[in-house]
Every structure is written in C-alpha cells, then in structure tokens.
Amino acid sequence: MPLRRIRCEVTVVDHVEHQLTRTAGQFRIVIPDTPGDAGVACAAVFGKPRNGCLVRVHSRCLYSEVFGSLDCDCREQLHRSIELIRARRAGVVVYLEQEGRGSGLLAKAKGYEYSQRTGVDTFASYEALGLPPDCRTYMAAGELLKQLGLKSVRLLTNNPDKVAGLRATGLNVTREPLHVQVAGKALEYLAAKRARGHRLPATPAGKPPRAKAVTRSGSTSIGAPLVSRAPNRLVASLRQLLPAMLERMFRW
C-alpha cells in the first residue's frame, strides 16, 4: 500500500490508508507512519466525519476483545461505540495500543493476579505493585484526529481524564456518555472505575445502567438497544419449557 502524506497545521505525517470490510459495510483504516511510533494509534473512519462527529478513543484490551473476558466492559464499549457511530453514518474510532491502562500486558497480568489473590480492585493492585493506576496518554489520538481534519469532536467516554487529554492536544471536546450493559465481575470493575472518577451512574447490585444513546438529531435518549450478556428471550423460554418437556419424556 503506497504511503501518502497528510498535511496538518504544524507537521506533515506519513500514513497508510486502506479500506476494511465488515458485515455492515466498508470503512477506512488510517495508521500514521511515525518513526519510532508506528502502529501506536489506528483510526477506523466511518463515512465522512465532520467537526462535531462522534469519536471513540479506545485503548486495547486483549482479554476482553480477543478472549471474551467478562471481567471488564472494554469490548462492550468498543462495539457500542461502533454501533452509535454507524447509526450517525460518520465518525471515528481511534484504537490505541495502550494495554493494561498504559502499563502493558505483563503489568496487567500481574495486576489481575494480585487482585485475584487479595480481593482488591485492579487500580489498587497496580498501586500495590508500584505501578500508576492509569498512565495512558492521548496525544497520539488527538494528533491523528486533527490530521483527519477534525477540530471538534463529541467523545464517547465516561472518563474525564480522556476528555482532558484530548483537549490538551488542541481539540474542542464534548463528552458523550457511553453506558453499556454488563454483568458479574464487570460490574465490580465499573464500580472501581466510578470510585476513580469515571462518570458512571450508581446502580443497585446486579442492575447495570441503562444506556444513553445518541440519536440522529444529536440529542441523547435513554434505553437504546444495548450490547448485553444477559440470557436472551429464546434461552429464557427454553428454561421455562424444560420442566414440562422432561415430565412428558418420563411419562412416555
């Protein structure tokens, strides 16, 4: 794939660009080819994003996104963001290689091990291991968004640090809440994030927050379709029918 050059206000950055196909359609991949920094940030560009479009800046989570871990909400946040952006027909997902809240996969694994052994959350386990609870940076994401021609974005996040980090790059950032439905241990992770300042509503145990979805008009609404791990209606129906089926089998 040939390299092109995109010109922004202060720098000229090489990048690689190509199309990618999903079931729902094609979108564009843009990856800056910055010396010593290649592959740190990748943009999935849907439609023709303009100022004020929806943007998700997402940090890599191997466990959730590849292995299907139920211990956090990363995969749901990513999928929900794509869903919302596609509904608006334009927007950007910037994917950052910042595994383990910026400390890397090995540190993340150590944090999990400590957390499972002691019962503390993963933020506290990082601190106990002498690691910063969250050392992610958003400079690469901000620069990439500006290189895509954006000056203002509506950022899908519950994390005030992410908003501040992107604003520090000169972008005009408005926060859009991103609430997803999760269950089990992921709820504990949400509680830990809430305690660390993430803008998440308090919910009774076992009752995850309803989603706030962005409508085509730009307003928000409660109760939109969610990415859910709850049993679907078919499973619930089968569970109801099962006792009767067993009774008939034994009678026969």
* Active centre residues (catalytic): 134, 136
- Sole binder of Zn ion in the list 54, 72, 78, 84 (CB under 5 A): 72
- 3-class state of residue 201 by DSSP: coil
* Least distance to Zn ion, CB of residue 167, Å: 24
Which tokens sit at 19? 């199309």
Task: Establish if 61 lies at the interface with Zn ion (CB under 5 A).
Answer: yes
The residue (of 147 and 181) whose beta carbon lies closer to Zn ion is 181
Cα–Cα nearest to 114, from 103, 133, 100, 129: 129
- Could you give the CA distance from residue 76 to residue 251 in angstroms, rounded to a whole number? 45
The residue (of 27 and 63) whose beta carbon lies closer to Zn ion is 63
Count, residues near Zn ion per rule CB under 5 A: 4
The residue (of 149 and 184) whose beta carbon lies closer to Zn ion is 184
* Least distance to Zn ion, CB of residue 12, Å: 35
Task: Establish if 107 lies at the interface with Zn ion (CB under 5 A).
Answer: no
Task: Establish if 74 lies at the interface with Zn ion (CB under 5 A).
Answer: yes
Task: Establish if 64 lies at the interface with Zn ion (CB under 5 A).
Answer: yes
Contact 211, 200 (CB under 8 A): no
* Residue 175 CA to its chain's centroid (Å): 14
The residue (of 107 and 171) whose beta carbon lies closer to Zn ion is 107
Cα–Cα nearest to 84, from 182, 211, 198: 211
DSSP conformation letters of 153-188: EEEE-S-HHHHHHHHTTT-EEEEE-------THHHH
**Contact residues: Zn ion, CB under 5 A:** 61, 64, 72, 74
